[in-house]
Structure 1
Amino acid sequence: MSDLEEDRTASLMTPAKLAQLQERPRTAASPAAWLDALASDAGSGHVRRLADLRRQIGAQLREWDYAPVAAAVQALEEAARKLDFAQVEPRGWLARLAGGKGAAAAFVSQVDRIAQAGDDLADEARAQQRKQAGAVAAERAVLEAEVEVRAIEKIMDQGARWLQDMRGQLKTRQAQGGDAAAQRQIQEDTQRCELLVVRLKQLRAVSSAAQQVLERCKGLATERAAFAQSLQALQEGPLKAWQKRSAPVADEAKSRGSASDGIDGARTAQQDLQAALKQSAGECASLQRHGQELADELAALDAPLQAAA
């Protein structure tokens, strides 16, 4: 090999250039073998850390269980739906003698059941707020994973530029010919390019899958926060309004067997509460569905991470 060819090979294959693409040097029997290891191992440290973060995010995801709050919303909706104001509407004296007090007692019992279901939902809402307050670790894991993905993408850009430069110079060297040693070096460098091509494909698969997972994580975090606020608004709005409207009706029904005032307002509050509960049930179902989708994507991310580790 001529001095010029040796200079070109050195400029292409310097350990400093390839070392920029990876973080875990491996001992090798020769400099050539070490360069091969570098080309096939680029970004391995970032990949391994991303695998650790994937496990952390998965563990944190399993802590979010929306089944209890979904059950509480459903129980309150069912109790509100069964409330029948016709039981306490004024009727004739004969109807009141026949069963007015029994119907009023049933109505008051229904009101009590709604109140209890509302308390149960409030307990679940507080549990959601506590989880939301403790979500800092999950947010930190996502942010750190984004840093690792950006580092992998930087390595991919560096590797692609290095690969393009090397292939261009290999064409020049091939056109110049040379002795057997020069041809052997060209062949080794060509194989080294192929090693890096495979590695860049592995890193691209990791980056693509990880980006999808991280976008899902951020979307789910936003949805969780909105749901926690929605539950709070339900309690402070429609549920509290229903309690305010229905309490006087229940008190009058308990004492007189019927209620003459406030029924229309209480019935409207009942309808508003049911509409709000229907919305909360839909939000909860959406969270459960999106959480499962994230769990599936986290599981799918394991394969490219294992391949690139």
Structure 2
Amino acid sequence: MSFPQVRPRRLRTSAPMRRLVAETRIHPAQLVLPMFVKEGLTEPRPIASMPGVVQHSRDSLRKAVVEAVQAGVGGLMLFGVPTSKDEVGSGGCDPDGILNVALRDVIAEVGDATVVMSDLCLDEFTSHGHCGVLAPDGSVDNDATLAVYGDMAVAQARAGAHMLGTSGMMDGQVGAVRTALDNEGFQDVSILAYTAKYASTFFGPFRQAVESSLQGDRMTYQQDGANGREAIRETLLDLAEGADIVMVKPALPYLDVISDVRAAVDVPVAAYQISGEYSMIEVAAANGLIDRERAILETLTSIRRAGADIVLTYWAVEAAGLVSRR
């Protein structure tokens, strides 16, 4: 048989050759580590549904953030788990609430050595588990929630957060938070908008991690998984309201949406490799079904290839080590 002169396999002949021509790369600075801190703990508590991930005590959180910074990760996203909740999620606005205390701890430990981010949502703090306050009929009251988000944003900024993750999927949330921050002199605090956050079954392990009280679902405010074009509409609205970075969540089931958002905007695009994505791989690897480290790198590469500039992943520290050894 005669073969053409062009043989693509020539560029796959060795690991150094493959590295040389790789179109997509992962750098530790592009990775953000989500972290949970639980009020009242004296030592870290494993999360059963997320092997290898823990609810931190304040002390273990301090140690873990130093390790993350030393690994070179680009940022840390903090989630607070309070011991008590109420109907309006008042712990989220309380300067002495666990999330705001943890932010001050982290800033005191690592300062500006990394980007310290905080989740700006009420679901961890409400007794009903929804991301906003409820109207008398039990629905989530969008506009009443915006006022609380503004107060929560200012509390987190005062605690030292560099970037706020608006994750509640309320209409107008970015604008409400931007206005509240600017009115209090926090013009330099940036907003990571959870722009296309889908009502996904893959959030399941996360809800155990934050001890969610949710009954029912969030279909009336999180995005419908059948809709892709709607994500572009949400993205453009968030940018008009002042978002600095836009994000798609989950990542793997919505790679097409990441790609479409990347093509539509000129700001950084983030993606969140969420708890269910993480746990599926961990469980499959523990049962000998897949190579764990290869699966970590393959999935992260696919998210980057789709167009994400930043990836939130529970493997951020480990992946930083893996890519540095490649």
Report TM bin, short chain.
Answer: under 0.3
TM-score for both structures, normalised by structure 1: 0.23
Higher strand share: 2
Q: Which has the higher contact order (CA 8 A, sep 6+)?
A: 1
